Structure 1
Amino acid sequence: MKNIRKILIPSLVIALMGGTMGCSNLDDVVLDRVSDASSVQPDLTLKAAYNSLGTFTDQAAIYALTEHPSDEMQGPTRGADWDDNGRWRNLHTHTWTNQSDDVLNAWNNLNRGHALANEVIGNAKSTKAQVAEAKFLRAFYMFYTVDLFGQVAFRDLAKPGDLPKGLSRKDATAQIIAEVQSIMGDLPSATATNAGTATKEAASFLLAKLYLNNAVFAQDPTKPAGPFTFAKADMDAVVTNADAIINSGKYTLAANYFDNFHPDNSTKSKELIFVIQNEKGASLTNNSSVRNRYYMTSHYSTIPSGWNGFTTLADFYNSFDKKDSRVGAAIPGLTDKGGVRAGFLIGQQYGLNGVTLLDREGKPLVFTPEVDLKNANERQGIRVIKYTPDITDIDSPANDYVFFRYADVLLMKAEALFRGGNTSGALTIVNSLRTTRGVDPLTTLTEASLLAERGREMYWEGWRRNDQIRFGKFLAPVDNRTATSPDYRVVFPIPQRELEINPNLKQNFGY
């Protein structure tokens, strides 16, 4: 995100809980401590806790940690562009440290949202409904903290003067599950207009995701890469929570895949379960910057022009059947206005009316699969346009930013059935999805084909690292990372400054 305004938020807990809350590409966040959270109107703090979700839309920090270390994204240096002291290379090559910018900023952003939710929970003026929403948001932020960092700094609201205690991955997961279950009766059911707030269906999704990853999160911290044992009770719980969403009858797969990410996705798609709701011309005011998703990858010569940054990997692109609708599509109002298509951009690129586009040196703009991570030219790398730009308002479009969607529910259920021994049931679900996406059904289902299908459906949505770890593939060599990574790299280190601030936190094994 660029040029976000300063935010003044009274806070009981942020200063100690997250340390310095700054982010390298956000303006300073000014935080005052007050002695009584009840002096603040809870609706304002709850809104701030929701607005903090906007940090997920940045191309750096949280999103960068979920994608760059995986097999579906890389950030090549192009001459003087995109070197940034090696930050993107370090993520892709698994050589980050406990002082890396994105590690620190992700930790800070997650703890800021967590702390804001705490303020609502601890405010005597908060209604039961507001507390339930805040507890969902706290669980959401804690889930990502557990997933990325393997432990959580958790403040006991009854002891505001104490430093946050360090919750282990296993204990934090159990606490999140219990809390989400406890608020289910106080959350509203999903409607056509409330996907931007906590609902029963969003809570069921989060529970399914927690149970699906419970084997990973309960692992011995000295052996974080597994092997994992997926308990039948956990897989049954995934199915139960997935079925709660499926049987609600409120969701269905989008016939057009890219409707899920369209400027009008709130009306075009029936897959959206939990999102940042954006309005055209106003999305930047709630800290949401969907534009980053196309700016970070698109070339200077395209419409819209971009920053010519991130690409996918050749092997990942080659995992798609070329008739798969998820590979790409012409989008009315975008392709006919500027030439850009949605999906993967490879080969010669064209502008309006089929004009052949050139790079800054006057060479044909041909995106190639091969990428030199340290010394790429501006044409190297297959680009990805998932959120389709609105040509009439490129900087502040109305695309809702998607966290949870229905296709993932189906894939989580399929995986749980597969791990529970019901391969035929899992195959039926996967093939139903594949048929909707325009590809032939599979004849058999394996771990490898299930992971591949998750990749094809969920690419660049922030789940690939999580998926690869669960399937035991995260540490394997990929394009531009030739060696197998050590086991401890499946979690990120606790930032050094946090260890200095809070002795209750201990550095993760291996760092």
Structure 2
Amino acid sequence: MKKITLRATICSFVLLATAGCAKLDEKTYGSVIIDPNNASSTADLNGVYSQLNGQTDQANTYALQEHSTDEMMGPTRGTDWGDFGTWRKLHTHTWTPSHNQVSDTWDQLNIGVFRASQVIARATDNQIKAEASFLRAYFMFQVVDLYGQQPFRDPDAPNSAIPVVFNRADATAFIIKDLEFAEANLGAAPNIGKASKAAAQALLAKVYLNKAVYTAATVGGPFTFPKEDMDKVIEYANKITAAGYTLEPAGKYFQDFAWDNSEKSNGNIFGIYNTPSNVPGSAKNRWKMGLHYNQTPDGWNGFTTLAEFYNSFQPSDERRGVAYPGLTDKVGLRAGFAVGQQYGPGGKKLTQRSGTPLVFTPEVNLNYSTEAQGIRVFKYFPHPNADGTVTDSGEDNDYVILRYADVLLEKAEAIMRGGTDPNGQTPLAIVNAIRTPRGATALGSVTEADLLAERGRELYWEGWRRNDLIRFGKFNDPVDQRPNASDKTRTLYPIPQRAVDTNPNLKQNPGY
């Protein structure tokens, strides 16, 4: 046996069977034990799971899915967060095939696809094959969603072999087959960090809901949602409900993201399982990226939401922000959106570095912001110690990728788009079942615009906003700091130029 350390410096020909390799920043993503006599070992599979840890980064997959939307931006603050325009270009839809995060995301996701394919090709145990099939489907889903093409290399092919490239429709069919195999061979899991039958069903529902986007004749639509696909969404949603997943009760919305969500969440289906002694995919980036330097804990003073998005919440909506026991009383930080005067331990009013009051304002400028501008978001948050200090490591909030509220809203959308629910639920009943416990006023009717808005309020900053906006035909609309509509070709990111240059089967996406 030998231990192989896997790094982002893997050449393109390893992942995509290309002929050359551009120089990349070296980043280690973990190691995997390759044993030719026992290729189905747990260590091989764990190497695939470890590739998920990159999903918790504030950059790459998460940034491509969120900064390009109406709910997140990364303003430059003096000399902070300039980063050669990487965040600004995402929000303004002005990225190019050489954009650093477009390239890095492509590498990270395709490493996941390739490593999962290795396990599937060599494993003899169906449980291991099924878990690897689910993981490959997840990574491939993200590639298809972001880039619209999927290079695929046979793990047993020589390094010199040029891989096939699945178009978007064929890749979607491939993903569905992987997930159907996973669903048939998986059962319950000990925690959200392991693939389960419900996880496969949740991802199947998401794939079928987006299938119209992935099989459209023209990038960016128009989209036609076949009834049989919508019925599949409903079928898988109903299976997950039957398995016992539920919404959090009134006053407990943030329990899905808190430090004890492993034990107390009723609706988290799949993600990264963290414990105090083992934190493979810490969620702390999600609060560090918005916290001001003078808050407890201190942060990076970066990303904000947009005022219009914040204003879409009713003041009574718990999801907008609440004092959270064990957090607010210890360090002054509230769960949810942070706007206005900020407070520290003991209720002390905080100041900026200049000594002026730390007041987060709705107004923000993408190019020239002060350190206090912009509404911050703390959907995940740390667990303060009894004395009010915060240990800036080992935070054990599970990182959530798939959860039940998302599945329910997908079901409501599928019914609205022509699907039939054998249980007789209506979109209105589903949406109000989510809104009412959160303190939001029940709606009298539900339109497509209402449903998109509700998905935003329920799932904000979870990495699904771009996906939703595209499906509803709203991704290219003007938003704050992007005053003009972008072209529909921007619903796909470009294939990184070095990948196109070295794999003749890859064709650059329209518009690039």
- Class of the TM-score when normalised by the shorter of the 2 chains: over 0.9
- Distance in 2 (CA, whole Å) between partners of 1:431 and 1:136 is 32
Residues 230-253 of structure 1 deviation map (CA, whole Å, 9 limit, x = unaligned): 110110000001111011224343
* 1:162-173 to 2 correspondences below 5 Å: 162-173=161-172
1:216 aligns with 2:213: yes
Query: Is the contact made by 1:154 and 1:165 (CA closer than 8 Å) also made in structure 2?
Result: yes
Partners in 1 of 2:36 and 2:511 — Cα distance?
Answer: 39
Equivalence map 1:275-294=2 (5 Å): 275-283=271-279, 286=280, 288-294=281-287
Once the two structures are superposed, residues 335-363 of structure 1 have per-residue CA deviations (whole angstroms, 9 ceiling, x without a partner) of 11110111000001111122110001111
1:144 equivalent in structure 2: 142
Q: Deviation digits for residues 193-214 of structure 1, max 9, x if unmatched?
A: 3321111100000100000000
Determine whether 1:200 maps to 2:197: yes
Matches of 2:31 and 2:501 in 1, distance apart?
20
Q: What is the alpha-carbon distance in structure 1 between the residues aligned to residue 449 and residue 305 of structure 2?
A: 19
Q: Does 1:244 align with 2:239?
A: yes
Aligned twin of 2:184: 185
For structure 1, which segment, 390-399 or 265-274, has the greater mean C-alpha deviation from structure 2 after superposition?
A: 390-399
Corresponding residue for residue 402 of structure 2: 404
Partner Cα separation in structure 1 for residue 37 and residue 24 of structure 2: 28
Output the CA distance in 2 between the equivalents of 1:428 and 1:360.
Answer: 49
Alignment of 1:122-133 (within 5 A): 122-124=121-123, 126-133=124-131
Deviation at 1:259, TM superposition (A): 0.3
Distance 1:15 1:254 in 2: 50
**Distance apart, 1:434 and its partner CA:** 0.5
Q: Structure 2: which 5+ runs fail to align?
A: 386-390
Match of 1:485 in 2: 486
Unaligned runs of 5+ in 1: 1-5
Q: In structure 2, what is the Cα distance between the partners aligned to 1:414 and 1:253?
A: 18
SS of the aligned residue for 2:319 comes to coil
Counterpart residue identity of residue 333, structure 1 = G
* Counterpart position of 1:387: 380
Cα distance in 2 for partners of 1:318, 1:334 equals 24
Which residue identity lines up with residue 135 of structure 1 in the other structure?
A: S
CA distance in 1 between partners of 2:107 and 2:7 (Å): 17
1:376 is aligned, of 365, 369, 376, to 369
Residue 27 of structure 1 corresponds to 27
* 1:80-91 paired onto structure 2 within 5 Å: 80-91=79-90
For 1:44 and 1:237, the matched residues in 2 are separated by: 34
What residue in structure 2 maps to residue 350 of structure 1?
343
For residues 320 and 200 of structure 2, the distance between their equivalents in structure 1, rounded to whole angstroms, comes to 31
- In structure 2, relative to structure 1, the CA distance for the partners of 1:427 and 1:474 (3 Å cut) is same
Give the corresponding residue for 1:453: 454
Mapped to 2, the partners of 1:479 and 1:417 lie a distance apart of: 32
Greater alpha carbon shift after TM alignment, 458-467 vs 350-359? 350-359
Could you say if the C-alpha distance between residues 281 and 10 of structure 1 is closer, same or farther in structure 2, counting changes exceeding 3 Å? closer
Query: Would the aligned equivalents of 2:469 and 2:475 in 1 still touch at CA under 8 Å?
Result: yes
Query: Amino acid of the residue matched to residue 61 of structure 1?
Result: N
Deviations 1:466-497 (A, max 9, x none): 00000000000000000000110001000011
Distance 1:206 1:269 in 2: 19
- Match runs of 1:233-312 below 5 Å: 233-255=228-250, 256-283=252-279, 286=280, 288-312=281-305
Work out whether residues 68 and 91 of structure 1, in 8 Å CA contact, stay in contact via their aligned partners in 2: yes
1:117 maps to 116
* Cα contact 1:13–1:115 (8 A) shared by 2: no
Aligned residue pairs total 496
Q: Distance in 1 between matches of 2:265 and 2:331?
A: 24
The answer on whether the counterparts of 2:32 and 2:47 sit within 8 Å (CA) in structure 1 is no
CA distance in 1 between partners of 2:341 and 2:4 (Å): 44
Counterpart position of 2:227: 232
1:21·1:112 contact (CA, 8 Å) conserved in 2? no
- Please name the residue that 2:105 is paired with: 106
Following the alignment from structure 2 to structure 1, what is the Cα–Cα distance between the partners of residues 45 and 419? 42
Task: Find the aligned partners of 1:7 and 1:367 in 2 and give their Cα distance.
Answer: 47
Structure 1 residues 118 and 10: CA distance shift in structure 2, 3 A? farther
CA deviations on 1:368-412 (whole Å, 9 max, x unpaired) are 001111010001000000111122433221100000001011100
Deviation at 1:42, TM superposition (A): 2.9
Q: Is the 8 A contact 1:14 1:111 kept in 2?
A: no
- Alignment match, 2:503: 502
- d(CA) in 2 for partners of 1:31 and 1:271? 31
Match in the other structure for 2:388: none
- Aligned residues: CA RMSD: 2.4
- Equivalents in 1 of 2:12, 2:275: separation in Å? 29
Whether contact under 8 Å (2:361, 2:375) holds in the other structure is yes
1:64 is displaced (CA, Å) by 0.3
Take 2:201 and 2:169, find their aligned partners in 1: how far apart are those partners?
20
2:315 aligned partner: 322
